[in-house]
Amino acid sequence: MRQQASSQDEKPDLSTPTLPPLLQMELSNTAILHQVRRDQVTDTCRANSMSSRKRRVLTPNDLKHLVVDEDHEMIYCYVPKVACTNWKRVMMVLTGRGKYSDPMEIPANEAHISSNLKTLNQYSIPEINHRLKSYMKFLFVREPFERLVSAYRNKFTQKYNTSFHKRYGTKIVRRQRKNATQEALRKGDDVKFEEFVAYLIDPHTQKEEPFNEHWQTVYSLCHPCHIHYDLIGKYETLEEDSNYILQLAGVGSYLKFPTYAKSTRTTDEMTTEFFQNISSEHQTQLYEVYKLDFLMFNYSVPSYLKLE
């Protein structure tokens, strides 16, 4: 999957029988789980390519979300609202050559400064192809509607997110709210979830510009039908999946994925509540927008949906 690092302190290959039998079994079970996830993506892509006539070739611009770690030969496609701040912190530790040792000592805003991490679009075409072929590639996914509600809560209900209110909120209010007040049109800081959904399913929205990365589909951000990911981690099993990846990268002995329970995090119950006020017509149209993410990453249709 990845070439053995040629440094002096080579990490042991995880397939060698030097590991305790129990850990060996655990790792092989995990390997099977990841194979099942990969197969699910492959099958969905195959079914989708048969039904869609659009064949497109990736351009470097499509690779802005793929973070490259040269030292450990890894590529991570980050998906906003799926623990991407902590994974970017981990990637900064891995690529920092000793500058950082603890991911949590890196301030969150620093993890999102683009110059702190190298992305695949910054390489030449031959370099891109070489890395896509030989590096270990992974991404993390989350239940699509839970991720969507998380993005809405973070970007539209927090008073400090004025750039989002101005950039998207004012547009949403203008298009989706009848008799909007002048203040609402100017500030865009009180967008309702129903208005946000109406904006997402409005055909005009996608024609105008691509979705913002916080609510763009994983399918469009990471291109799993064009790029063969070795590992697909899930937000629901974030800690286990992350530490398995760090183990495969040969750094598991000294680097663990940061764990902390965020009391404000968006849950399934919260998501259910947000969808209560969405008409079945809009729910159906929204499901269509995110359908590939549901199918590809094996998330079932939420029981609270009233699809037409």
Q: Is 270 exposed, middle or buried (0-12, 13-18, 19+ CB in 10 A)?
A: middle
Inform me whether the pLDDT recorded for 8 exceeds 60: no
**Mean pLDDT in residue range 19-27:** 72
Task: Report angle CA 7, 23, 135 to the nearest 5 degrees.
Answer: 40
pLDDT of residue 144: 98
Q: Is 22 exposed, middle or buried (0-12, 13-18, 19+ CB in 10 A)?
A: exposed
CB 89 within 8 A of CB 106: yes
* Torsion 166-171-177-182 (CA) sign: positive
pLDDT of residue 26: 73
pLDDT of residue 206: 87
Which amino acid belongs to residue 101? S
Please enumerate in sequence order all residues whose Cβ is within 8 A of that of 224, keeping only pairs 6 or more positions apart, or say none: 41, 45, 139, 218, 232, 296
pLDDT of residue 45: 93
pLDDT band at 2 (very low <50, low <70, confident <90, very high): very low
Mind listing the pLDDT tens digit for each residue in 81-114? 999 999 999 999 999 998 999 999 999 999 999 9
Which amino acid belongs to residue 139? L
